[in-house]
Amino acid sequence: MVTLDLPEKPGRPRSERAHRAVLEAVDDLLVDEGYAAMTMKGIALRAGVGRQTIYRWWSTKAEILLEACVEDAREELHAPPCADPSDDLYAYLAVLTHFLTVSPAGLAYRALVGEAQHDPAVRDLLQRADVLTPSALAVLDRVRTVAPDMPENDLAVAQLTGPLLSRALISPGPLSGELLRVHAEGLLRAWAER
Amino acid sequence: MVTLDLPEKPGRPRSERAHRAVLEAVDDLLVDEGYAAMTMKGIALRAGVGRQTIYRWWSTKAEILLEACVEDAREELHAPPCADPSDDLYAYLAVLTHFLTVSPAGLAYRALVGEAQHDPAVRDLLQRADVLTPSALAVLDRVRTVAPDMPENDLAVAQLTGPLLSRALISPGPLSGELLRVHAEGLLRAWAER
Amino acid sequence: MVTLDLPEKPGRPRSERAHRAVLEAVDDLLVDEGYAAMTMKGIALRAGVGRQTIYRWWSTKAEILLEACVEDAREELHAPPCADPSDDLYAYLAVLTHFLTVSPAGLAYRALVGEAQHDPAVRDLLQRADVLTPSALAVLDRVRTVAPDMPENDLAVAQLTGPLLSRALISPGPLSGELLRVHAEGLLRAWAER
Amino acid sequence: MVTLDLPEKPGRPRSERAHRAVLEAVDDLLVDEGYAAMTMKGIALRAGVGRQTIYRWWSTKAEILLEACVEDAREELHAPPCADPSDDLYAYLAVLTHFLTVSPAGLAYRALVGEAQHDPAVRDLLQRADVLTPSALAVLDRVRTVAPDMPENDLAVAQLTGPLLSRALISPGPLSGELLRVHAEGLLRAWAER
DNA sequence: ATTTAACCGAGACGGTACGTCTTGTCTTATA
DNA sequence: TATAAGACAAGACGTACCGTCTCGGTTAAAT
C-alpha cells in the first residue's frame, strides 16, 4: 500500500488556533471596547498571540475585519424564500436590519465601511468583496417575475438595501418592522408594470 | 440717552483669520492628501496656525470636519423647486449626487460618516447636526401633495437619499443621471395613491 | 529760580503696585509650589498682573528672582560685629546658614544658582550681582588683623562660604551650630601666622 | 547534573547600542548645545533612538544625566596617593577642579546640581548617589593620621570640596593651581593638633 | 478741558517640549 | 520555521508654557 503524504512544507505549521483566536478577539474587542480602542497590540493581547503573527497573515486591520465578518454575513443574510413576493422582500429586509444593527458581524461591516471613507485601499477591498450585494441579488431574482419594471441590478440593490444601510450608519435605532413592510411594498409598487 | 454697549469680554479677540484658515486647510488636506493623512499637526501647519489654537475652538477633528462641511452643504444641497414633481425629485437627487461624489464638502461629510462608525461621540454629533435631512425634507414637502401614500419622514428620507448615500460610501462611481430619473419616478409610483 | 523738574516721560507711570505684587508672587510661589511650578503664567495670575507687564520690566525669570532676593539678602546677611574673631566668623556662618536653608530669599538664591547651571546668561547675571560676596568680605576684613595668613579674597571667600553653600545645594539639612563653630575656628587656624 | 539557567524573561533583550547611544548623545548635546537646548526629543534624535526607548529605561532627564556622569566621575576623580599629605590633598584638589570645570562628566554633574535646586526628586537622587563624597573620603582617610583634629566627615568633606564646588557653580574660571596648594595647606593647618 | 501716550488687565496668537500611545519591524528563546 | 514576548524607531496625540500681539480701559502730563 502506498502512503500518500501531502508534500508538507518543513518547519512548524501554521497555528489554526492563533488564526481563530485573532478573529474572535477582533469580534470581542469590537463589541466590548469599540473600534477606536481596537488596536493591533490589543488584538494580539486579547488573542494571546504575537503581534508579528497577525502581520504574517493579514496586511491590514481591514483584512482582519473583512475575514471576521464575511463568513458570518453570508450565513446571517440568508433569508428563506417566501411564496409571496412582499413577504420575501420583507423577510430579507428583516435579516438585513438585524445584521446591520445587532450582529457583531454587522458591526464589523460598518466599521469596515467607515474605514473605507478614510482609506482608498479599504474602499477597494470592500468593493471586491462586497458583503451585501450577493444576498440582495438573490432576493431580487426571486421577485423579478412580479416586478417587471425593476431597474438594473445596480440601482435595484441600492433601492432595496440603501435606505437600511444609510440608516444603520447614521441614525441610532433601526427602522421598525412595520416600516420595513412599507418599504417592501413600496418597492414592489415602484417596480410594477406601468 | 442710554448707550447699550455690549459687555465684551477683555483680552485679544478671536482671530477670524485663524478660524477660516483652519476650515480651509481641512478641506484642502482632505482633497490633496486624503483623510488618513490629515493630522492635527498637518492642519495646523497648512493653516499657519498654532496647534493649541485648533484645540481652543474645536474639541475633535470631527467638529472641524462638521463645521467645514455644514455651511457648504446647506448651500450646495439647495435645488430650485420645479413645477413637475418628478423633475423636482430628480433635481434634488442630482445635486445630492454631486455633493456626495464631487464636492469637497461632501468628501468631508463622508469622512465624518466614516468616523461615526468608529467613535460613538462622532455618531452623536452627526445625529444632532444632520446635514442631509433638512434639504431632503424640503423636497419631500413639495411633492407630498402628489404622493399621498408617502410614509413617515424617517422612512421617506431614507428611501430618497439612502440609495445615493450608501452608493457613494461603497461603490466607486455615482449613479448615472438616467438612473437618478428612474429612482425619482419609482419613488413617486411607490408613494402614489393605491 | 530754576525748577529742576525731572524730565518725566509722558503717559501713565509705572504701577508700583504691580511691581511689588510680582516680587511677592514669586516668593510665594517658590515657597508654596516650588520652582518647577513657578511659571511666568502662574506668576502673572498670582500677582493679578498682565503677562506683558512682567516682560516690560524684567527680561527673564532670573531677573525677577534676583530682584526678589537681593534686598532681603543684604539685610539678612548682616551679622553684628563681635569682639572675638571666632564669634564674629561664627555669627556670620550662622546667619549665612539661616539664609541658605530657611529664608525665602535664600530659596530664590539657590534657584538662581540652579538656573545658572542651565543658562549662561543667568550665570553672567549672578556673577555681576553676587549676593554672598559683599557680606563675606565685610566679615573677612574685620578678622583680617588676627588672620595674617588669610589668602586673597577669592579663595578666602570660597573657604568661608563654599562649604556652607555647597552643603545647602546638595545635602538635605544644614550643618549644626557646633560644626559651624568648628569651621570658624579651623579657618582662624588655617589663616594664623605660620 | 543540574543546569543553572538564568530565568531570562522572554522577548527581545535590551539594546546595549541604544543604551550607550543615549548616554553619549546626552554628553554631546550638553557640550555642544548646553543644557537648556537638551530636550528629550533632541536626545532621541541625536542618539538615533525612539523617544519611548528613553522613557523605558530612564524616568527623567536627571537619571540620564546621573548615569552619564557617575562612571566617568569615579574614574576622573581618582588621584594617585602621594607620600606627602599636602601633595596628596593638592593632587585631589587638582583632579577635582579639572572634573568640575573641564570634564564633560563634570558639566553633567553641575547641570544635575542645578536641576536639584528646581526639583526635590532630583535633589533626592543626587543625595542617594553622591558623586564627589566617596573620592573625597578616600583622600581624607589617607591624610587623617597627620590631621588629628580633622572634624567629622560631613564637615571635612565640605571644607575640602565646598570651596571648589561653589566656585565652579558660580564663578567663571577655576581657582589657580597656586591657590589650590594654599587651600590644601590651610586645611592641614586647620586640622593639625592644637 | 482735550489730547496724547504709555501704562494696565486679559487673553488669543504661533511655536515647541512634554510624556503617552500606536504602528510595523526586529530579535530573542521555545516548540 | 512558526510562535509569544517584547524591545525597537518613528511619529501623532493632547497639554502646558513660552514670548508676542491685540484688545478695551486707565492715568497723568502736555496742550
Strand F reaches within 7 A of the D57 CB: yes
**Cβ separation of A186 and B183 shorter than 8 Å?**
no
- Confidence grade of residue D4 (pLDDT, cut at 50, 70, 90): very low
Q: CA–C1' distance A109–E26 (Å)?
A: 33
Considering only CB atoms, A183 lies closest to which of B127, B155, B175, namely B155
DSSP string across A125-137: HHHHT-SSHHHHH
Report the alpha-carbon distance of residue D128 to residue B193 in Å, rounded: 90
Question: Which residue of A lies nearest to B168 if distances are taken between CA atoms?
Answer: A117
DSSP string across D131-142: SSHHHHHHHHHH
- Burial per residue of D48-65, b for 16 or more beta-carbon CB atoms within 10 angstroms, e otherwise: ebeeebbeeebeebbbbb
**Residue A48, phi-psi category: left (phi > 0), alpha (psi -120 to 50), beta (remainder):** left
DSSP letter assigned to residue C81? -
Report the alpha-carbon distance of residue C59 to residue B156 in Å, rounded: 67
Could you read off the pLDDT of D93-119 as tens digits, one per residue? 999 999 999 999 999 999 999 999 999
Report the alpha-carbon distance of residue D105 to residue D99 in Å, rounded: 7
Q: Cell numbers 419622514 label which residue?
A: B153
Could you report how far apart the first and last alpha carbons of chain C are, in Å?
A: 66
Beta carbons within 8 Å of D84's beta carbon, 6+ residues apart: none
Q: In terms of C-beta density within 10 A (0-12 exposed, 13-18 middle, 19 or more buried), how is residue A155 classed?
A: buried
Strand E reaches within 7 A of the A39 CB: yes
- Confidence grade of residue D194 (pLDDT, cut at 50, 70, 90): confident
Alpha helices in D37-152 (DSSP H): 40-47, 51-57, 61-76, 85-101, 104-116, 120-128, 133-143
Report the alpha-carbon distance of residue C153 to residue C81 in Å, rounded: 19
pLDDT at A8: 52
**Residue range C167-174: average pLDDT?**
94
Strand F reaches within 7 A of the B120 CB: no
pLDDT at A156: 98
The residue among D186, D95, D94 whose CA lies nearest residue D147 is: D186
Report the alpha-carbon distance of residue D82 to residue D139 in Å, rounded: 10
Is the distance from CB of C103 to CB of C76 less than 8 angstroms? yes
- Give backbone dihedrals phi and psi of D77, rounded to 5 degrees, phi first: -90, 10
DSSP string across C84-100: SHHHHHHHHHHHHHHHH
Could you read off the pLDDT of D178-188 as tens digits, one per residue? 999 999 999 99
Q: How many helices (H) and strands (E) does chain B have?
A: 10, 0
Report the alpha-carbon distance of residue C156 to residue C183 in Å, rounded: 13
> Which residue has its C-alpha nearest to nucleotide F18's C1'?
C40
Give the percent of chain B with pLDDT over 70: 96
How many angstroms away from the CA of D1 is the closest CA of chain C? 52
Could you read off the pLDDT of B169-186 as tens digits, one per residue? 999 899 999 999 999 999
pLDDT at C14: 85
B119: Cα within 13 Å, side-chain hemisphere: 15
Report the alpha-carbon distance of residue D182 to residue C156 in Å, rounded: 10
Beta carbons within 8 Å of B189's beta carbon, 6+ residues apart: A189, A190, A192, A194
Q: CA–C1' distance B54–F15 (Å)?
A: 13
Which nucleotide lies nearest residue A41, CA to C1'? E22
Report the alpha-carbon distance of residue C149 to residue B149 in Å, rounded: 115
What is the mean pLDDT, run by run of 10 residues, along chain A of 194 residues? 44 81 96 95 96 95 95 94 96 98 96 97 93 97 96 98 98 95 98 88
Could you report how far apart the first and last alpha carbons of chain A are, in Å?
A: 71
- Report chain D residues touching chain C, CB-CB < 8 A: 34-36, 110-111, 113-120, 123, 126-127, 130, 151-152, 154-155, 158-159, 161-167, 169-172, 175, 179, 182-183, 186-187, 189-192, 194
Amino acid of residue A45: L
For residue A173, count other CB atoms closer than 10 A to its CB: 9
**Cβ separation of C155 and D127 shorter than 8 Å?**
no
Strand E reaches within 7 A of the B51 CB: yes
Beta carbons within 8 Å of C157's beta carbon, 6+ residues apart: C132, C133, C136, C137, C140
> Which residue has its C-alpha nearest to nucleotide E25's C1'?
A52
Strand E reaches within 7 A of the A40 CB: yes
Question: For residue C166, what are the CA distances in angstroms to A163, C151, D172?
Answer: 78, 20, 17
**Cβ separation of A113 and B169 shorter than 8 Å?**
yes
Residues of B in contact with A191 (CB under 8 A): 186
| Grid coordinates of C139 | 566679615
Q: Cell numbers 566656585 label which residue?
A: D167
> Which residue has its C-alpha nearest to nucleotide E6's C1'?
C11
Could you give the angle at which helices D120-128 and D104-116 cross, rounded to 10 degrees? 130
How many angstroms away from the CA of C105 is the closest CA of chain D? 14
Q: CA–C1' distance B5–F20 (Å)?
A: 29
Residues of D in contact with C114 (CB under 8 A): 113-118
Rg (CA), chain A: 20
- For residue D115, the SS3 value is helix
Mutate to test the interface with C, among D159, D175, D179, D180 (most CBs of C within 10 A): D159
- Report chain B residues touching chain A, CB-CB < 8 A: 34-36, 110-111, 113-120, 123, 126-127, 130, 151-152, 154-155, 158-159, 161-167, 169-172, 175, 179, 182-183, 186-187, 189-192, 194
Strand F reaches within 7 A of the B61 CB: yes
Residues of A in contact with B127 (CB under 8 A): 170-172
pLDDT at A193: 85
CA A8, A13, A16, A17 torsion: positive or negative? positive
The residue among A156, A67, A46 whose CA lies nearest residue A109 is: A67
Question: Which residue of A lies nearest to B159 if distances are taken between CA atoms?
Answer: A163
> Which residue has its C-alpha nearest to nucleotide E18's C1'?
D40
pLDDT at C5: 42
Task: Name the average pLDDT for chain C.
Answer: 93
- For residue C50, the SS3 value is coil
pLDDT beyond 70 at D7:
no
- Confidence grade of residue D20 (pLDDT, cut at 50, 70, 90): very high
**Residue range C59-76: average pLDDT?**
95
Q: CA–C1' distance C8–E3 (Å)?
A: 18
- Report chain A residues touching chain B, CB-CB < 8 A: 34-36, 110-111, 113-120, 123, 126-127, 130, 151-152, 154-155, 158-159, 161-167, 169-172, 175, 179, 182-183, 186-187, 189-192, 194
pLDDT beyond 80 at D49:
yes
Q: In terms of C-beta density within 10 A (0-12 exposed, 13-18 middle, 19 or more buried), how is residue C63 classed?
A: middle
Q: CA–C1' distance C11–F27 (Å)?
A: 7
pLDDT beyond 60 at B3:
no
Question: For residue A129, what are the CA distances in angstroms to A72, A105, A112, B171?
Answer: 14, 15, 11, 11
Report the alpha-carbon distance of residue C85 to residue C62 in Å, rounded: 36
Report the alpha-carbon distance of residue D175 to residue A66 in Å, rounded: 74
- Confidence grade of residue B6 (pLDDT, cut at 50, 70, 90): very low
Chains that touch A (3 or more CB pairs under 8 A): B
The residue among A116, A113, A118, A120 whose CA lies nearest residue B108 is: A118
Is the distance from CB of A106 to CB of A99 less than 8 angstroms? yes
**Cβ separation of C111 and D130 shorter than 8 Å?**
no
Q: Cell numbers 454631486 label which residue?
A: B98
DSSP letter assigned to residue A183? H
Considering only CB atoms, D155 lies closest to which of C116, C165, C183, namely C183
- Cα dihedral value A85, A89, A95, A98, nearest 10: -140
Could you read off the pLDDT of C100-159 as tens digits, one per residue? 999 999 999 999 999 999 999 999 999 999 899 999 999 999 999 999 999 999 999 999
Report the alpha-carbon distance of residue B90 to residue B160 in Å, rounded: 10
Report the alpha-carbon distance of residue D82 to residue D80 in Å, rounded: 7
- Confidence grade of residue B193 (pLDDT, cut at 50, 70, 90): confident
Give the percent of chain C with pLDDT over 70: 96
